[in-house]
Amino acid sequence: MNRNLLFSKTRRQLAIWFVSVMAIILIVCEFSLDRALSQAYKATLDRELTSVANTLHNGFVTILDRPGTLESNVSNLLPDICPYSDDCYESDNSSLMPVEAIYKIEYYVSLLSSEGNPVAIAGKRIKSLPLTPTKSEWLELLDDDGFPYRQTTLTLHTKDNLVWGYLQVGRSLEEVKKYTSTMRRVLIVGFPFILSLIAVGAWWLVGKVMQPIYRSYRQIQQFTADAAHELRTPLAAIRATVESSLMKPRLTDANARNTLQTVSRQNQRLSQIVSDLMILSRLDRQLSGVKSSNEIESVILNDLVSDIAEEFAALAISANLQLKQQINTSQNLTVKGNSEQLYRLVSNLVINAIKYTPSSGEITIILESEHNEAVIRVRDTGIGIAPPEQKKIFDRFYRVNSDRSRQTGGSGLGLAISKAIALAHNGSIEVQSEINRGSSFIIRLPKYH
């Protein structure tokens, strides 16, 4: 297939299209995955922040008495709490904080009065982070170095449920940034790797899908070449005969008659090939689902076999052969189909049997029923077919020995037509043969009740 320019180009183009579509899908998936994972990670951090802020709030509620005033015992809750001043940033005692999560993850805590003025800070001391006297619940902040932070704000209450001020708890988003950038690196590095795998897969897959198309393309090519070859032989014979007659200075009646007889014979051969080709083309259309204009009817195979045996009896006798029929069923076997085509199917086999059986041989047409099928066997005691040829004899224009067959007048289309008719009737045809002992062609057709 790769040596055929049209097919290798089509295969390449299809593979490129496939990879491009997959690349777009992959980019969309990676982008969505990246977004979904970062969102999920952020949501987990927010839950943690909320939980820490609530824990602290619940602790403060049991301690705080007067709005905006820091009680001395708040250090029981946050030992490193520092009333707000620049000195707070000198030392960092976050490891003393009792809320385990705080010292593990390095949260910072700010207490603001209800007017928004800083009262105290605890936890991680980040001087470069702006104090935000804002009451909005969630904020994302940047310190002076551009590092991102996430912060939540809760309203803080006293023991008597008066508004004390605000509690702000925050943490660095550096970890999220690191996580997302690692994930992006993995996705970016993985992208060409996955894409190369897809490209290899696409090349293989497209090749596999194109195999049957390529096979039928080759068959059509072969068929066209064979048909041209078959038509050329009689045409060349006609031309040679006519030219040799024209070259004669005087044409006698006998010469003219001879020439015309040759032309007529070759013309008959041409007409036979053309009509066989037309039958095959009609059967091909029938097989590909195009409805036949011919009537579908119930065909009684008992009658069909008897008619054929009767019709070819004279031909068999002239070839010194015995033609017998053997109907192994007491009832009529009926199939649904086209009677003309079915007649052609069986008669092709009988004609072949007569052609390829030496004188004083025997030909038997057997009709029997097997399960849901009607079976017709055409058995002869002829020259037989070698096993490697048995697979090929149903191919169009195939002849076991072309010279020998041409002497018998065959064009190699008879069995191809029989097979096409059997298939068009949802049946099958097969051969069993032994060289010099004879052949048996078996047709199976679904019975019609």
Nearest CA to 333 out of 366, 301, 306, 375 is that of: 301
Residue 38 or 364 having the CB closest to ligand ADP: 364
Q: Where are the beta strands (DSSP E) in 15-115?
A: 82-83, 108-113
Tokens of 123: 């936890």
Residue 234 found at the interface with ligand ADP (CB under 6 A): no
- Minimal distance, residue 403 CB to ligand ADP, in Å: 10
If the CB atoms of residues 164 and 356 are measured against ligand ADP, the closer one turns out to be 356
Count of residues in contact with ligand ADP, rule CB under 6 A: 21
Whole-angstrom distance, CA of residue 114 vs CA of residue 154 = 11
Among 414, 425, 427, 429, binds ligand ADP (CB under 6 A): 414
CB of 354 to ligand ADP, least distance (A): 9
Stretch that binds ligand ADP, among 7-15, 60-68, 109-117, 404-412 (CB under 6 A): 404-412
Quick one: which segment of 67-75, 161-169, 238-246, 405-413 binds ligand ADP (CB under 6 A)?
Answer: 405-413
Nearer CB in complex with ligand ADP: 58/408: 408
Instruction: Evaluate whether 166 touches 153 at the Cβ level (below 8 Å).
Output: yes
Supply 107's token pair.
């949260």
CB of 288 to ligand ADP, least distance (A): 22
DSSP 441: E
- b/e map 311-327, b = 16+ CB within 10 Å: ebeeebeebebebebeb
253/365 Cα distance (integer angstroms): 47
Q: Select 10 or 432, whichever has its Cβ closest to ligand ADP.
A: 432
**Which ranges of 248-372 would DSSP assign to H, the alpha helix?**
253-287, 301-318, 339-355
Segment 175-214, which members bind ligand ADP (CB under 6 A)? none
Q: Cβ distance 412 to 396 under 8 Å? A: yes
Tell me which residue has its CB nearest to ligand ADP.
Answer: 410
Torsion of CA 281, 283, 287, 288, to 10 degrees: 30
Helices (H) and strands (E) in the chain, counts: 10, 13
The distance of closest approach from Cβ of residue 393 to ligand ADP in the complex, given in angstroms and rounded to an integer, is 4
Amino acid at 99: V
Cα torsion 60, 62, 63, 68: sign: positive
Distance between CA 40 and CA 123 in Å, rounded?
A: 26
CA distances from 245 to 242, 254, 365, 423 (A): 5, 11, 47, 47
333-362 positions binding ligand ADP, by CB under 6 A: 352-353, 356
Q: Per-residue contact track with ligand ADP, 102 to 141, x per CB under 6 A?
A: ----------------------------------------
Identified binder of ligand ADP from the candidate list 94, 168, 381, 439, rule CB under 6 A: 439
Q: Which is nearer to ligand ADP, 150 or 379 (CB)?
A: 379
**Contact between 153 and 136 (Cβ < 8 Å):** yes
Q: Which residue number, 97 or 413, has a Cβ lying nearer to ligand ADP? A: 413
Shortest gap between Cβ of 417 and ligand ADP (angstroms)?
Answer: 8
Shortest reach from residue 436's CB to ligand ADP, in Å: 10
Q: Which is nearer to ligand ADP, 202 or 431 (CB)?
A: 431
Pick from 56, 77, 66, 71: nearest CA to 162: 66
Query: Which two structure tokens, joined as six digits, stand for 215?
Result: 């096979």
Q: Interface with ligand ADP includes 405 (CB under 6 A)?
A: yes
Among 123, 165, 170, 412, the residue binding ligand ADP under the rule CB under 6 A is 412
What's the CA gap between 148 and 71, in Å, rounded?
32
Q: Is 7 in the site for ligand ADP (CB under 6 A)?
A: no
Q: Give the three-class secondary structure for 338.
A: coil
In the complex with ligand ADP, which residue's Cβ is closer, 258 or 440?
Answer: 440
Q: Read off the tokens for 112.
A: 């603001």
User: Which lies closer to ligand ADP via its Cβ, residue 281 or residue 372?
Assistant: 281
Binding mask 362-401 for ligand ADP (x = CB under 6 A): ------------------x-xxxx-------x----xxx-
Binding residues (CB under 6 A) for ligand ADP: these are 352-353, 356, 380, 382-385, 393, 398-400, 405, 410-416, 439
